[in-house]
Structure 1
Amino acid sequence: MSDDHVYLSLAEGHDDGSDARWAFGTGFEDPLHGVDSAVPEGVDAAELAATCLALGDDALVSAQRLAEWTTRAPELEEEVALANIGLDLLGQARLLYARSGHADGTGRGEDAYAYFRDPADFRNVRLAELPSGDFAFCVARLLVLSAWRLAHFERLTAGGDPVLAAIAAKGVKELTYHRQYAAEWVVRLGDGTDESHRRMQAALDQVAPYLGELFLAHDVRDEVVAVLAQVTEAAGLSVPGQRPLPGSGRDGDRTEHLAPLLAELQSVARAHPEATW
């Protein structure tokens, strides 16, 4: 299967009249429907499934945090922008969860991954699950996570699995915008008033201890550090060189913040399992 064919299949909608499940509204089925799900020769299926699961968890948890800005953003335009970024990440989570279920042989769908796993089973990086904080923290975290995820997705586009490569190629376009949006706000706040500068620097100080974990998960340090250096220099800010926090979300280490986030996210699906609408 060519990458072009996979990409077109990913972009197509499917409406066969079947009952929908909980995850993302009515009229949806397996988002990889019609795509050859066989794991290519030479690709480790277990490693592929684990990679897709972890990246899907990053996207889902990040999207849920961004959803918390609905009605809270400083301007309507920013509320819409953050909601759209969250929707991009939800779309990535759908595709990655579906690929994980194909690769690990269980056939589990997106609902099973999103709604019926406990916090200890998630493999997202811990920066994604921290509370929303103020708007400065929101854009600082978004800058770091989007720069890191973009660098990793760019590498995945040349990977051995054509399905994951196509998912990554689609994500690169979205993440490029996410990174640009966050960078513009970091510069605007850092180079703004004394108060906005103070808050923006404080947000970077909060993010800094979690950078080391990102580079353990995926070796894209040089790309991410270069982006942060360029943005913070333009904003008159700095990223402090703090000692990384021990542990890793990829290994199942969690903060106390993930459980309540998932409780809210999963509450309706768990109260009404197998429901259709």
Structure 2
Amino acid sequence: MSDDPLDALLNEMAPRDGEPIDPAAMARRDLQKALPKRFYKEATAQAQNGAFVLLLDGRGAKTPARNKLALPTLAAAEAVAAEWAGQDDVIDPLAMPLTRIVNSTIDGVAREMGATADEIAKFAGSDLVCYRAGEPEALVRAQAAAWDPVLDFARERLGARFICAEGVIFVEQPEPARRALKEAVGRVAQGGPAAPFALAALHVMTTLTGSALIALAVAHGELTPEDAWAAAHVDEDFQMRIWGADEEALRRRARRWKEMEAAAMLWGLVA
């Protein structure tokens, strides 16, 4: 086995056999492991062969699958370098959500663009904002206030008219609405060298919020990441107001927010 500390770190960060390349899943696994010591003094970004790479003490960094850690814009590479520079005595993957998304982009999404786009588009059939409570009235109003603007955005900007249903009974969305959402995601996937990173960011935002429409609203500047996050947790916040805060749920949400924030940042740096 190599004594190189970077190789050792990559082995620790790499997915196990059969494990999906997924930033959230990798973070949960990393909670159970001892953190590796920081082995570099300086983390920087540098232009190289038409891309921008992360350098650790002048040496090119790699992803867990041993691909070059290269990004399409200097701003994105500098943001990743800032995460590495911000590590203290140990390297904590939980404190590096942007790096995790970039790794999963390079090692996974870039090879599976069509499949990733399809996963996002599938949310058209069960998007969070289309399923509403019938009561109590306070929750009905809260959902409408948070989610109606998202449906307005989909109609006005994407040309997609979605149907709302009460309760959890499945509703078949109109084919034109599903097609319009798929086309919107497809345009992201066809966005040139930055497309894998933008698509990965959109995928993370979609899965974290349970809504491709909320994620696309962030991507189009219709919602801030903070407002999108609040919209995704309307039901949970309503229940907490009635029954009190669930501290463990709030801790999980805080960890997931870091991933949401990083995904929105990545989108803004590459899209």
TM-score of the superposed pair, with normalisation by structure 1: 0.23
Instruction: Report the TM-score, using the length of structure 2 for normalisation.
Output: 0.23
Asked which structure has the greater CA Rg, the reply is 2
